[in-house]
Structure 1
Amino acid sequence: MQIVGAIWIGFMLDNKYIASRRTRGVVSVAAVAIIVIAGWIGITVWLYNNPMDPLNPPLFDWTDGPFGGFFVLNLIFGINSVIYQVTVQWVISSFTNDPEKLARLAGLVKGVLAGGVAAAFGTEAAGLTQLNVVAYNFSVQAVGLVLTAVIASTCVTATNYMKEENVIPPSDAQTSGDLEKSDSQS
């Protein structure tokens, strides 16, 4: 499902039918938010109907009732993990074309994402109920989505070419002024 999610979100973020890079970013963040929210609502309902104790996990197999919902939720969260990360990385990478800056930003993004995963494991270790763990994790991801949407709608520009001294634009690159005009018109 991660492959499917990566292909789908890549199509959304690089869609040639949406001329404005900012619009592609905002539309993609909105699409990711729908899938993320659906997944968290689904896991909340599933856990409410099938309470789990992490120290004494239920033993069920694919022929038992709860398995179908659990399986679908695993697929949704497989998509969730990749589309969320790719979208955040795309938005952050729109800030610069300078390889040095991009490397630093990519490291920052991966560090923050890893910190979020570590905190999620910490909620499990703290002995919270599964529904409280879900509430915490959804809250963290929701805040991240809101921040990503704000950044995509305010900071993503048509291009960074011609704005950075250390970046050599491709020969067919338009000037940033031309692209900003076309970006504001779409």
Structure 2
Amino acid sequence: MIFNAASLSTIVLCALASLGSVAAVPSPFEYPEVVPGPGLPSLASLGITSKDLFEGTGANAPAKRDLLARFDRICYDNGCGRVSRANAQACVDYLIRLDTQQCVVGTSPAVMCVAGDAIIYGNNISGNGQVSSYCRDVGYGAKSVVDNCTDGNGQVAGADAAGGNGGLVVSIERC
């Protein structure tokens, strides 16, 4: 096949243009899916996407409240390994967006959110049958872990109390 200079340059320009347009389209697998825990609102019902949560600026946690003094934040690796800070933060942002929605925990740990390798649980340490806090306060407890328990490699694990209820402890774990 014989190409002249004009047709060859047209082919090169078309190829370069198509590469530019492919790079502009984000991959659907760019971010892990943020999955709310059972009984919590879907992302769609809130008008947000997983991408929105990963690209958000993050929510600012309030100063540590007196109630939290009954539970000292712990930073730990539970034997399953630490999780990505970005994945944990996406779940934090989801929970904070739920505002005054109640996050309820019975006698067993309750999954509040999953994103990639990060799982945020609520744990009932009160000894009562059920505890609850505003989901935003569960998010603030998780944010305290993200802000204070992240290692130099961007990995996090730990637990802290949810605001508004010293009996509800929030943990960020892999399993």
The reply to whether TM is greater than 0.5 is no
For the pair shown, the structure with the greater C-alpha radius of gyration is 2
- Normalising by structure 2, we get a TM-score of 0.25
Question: Which structure has the higher relative contact order (CA within 8 Å, separation 6+)?
Answer: 1
Bigger strand share: 2
- Higher-helix-fraction structure: 1
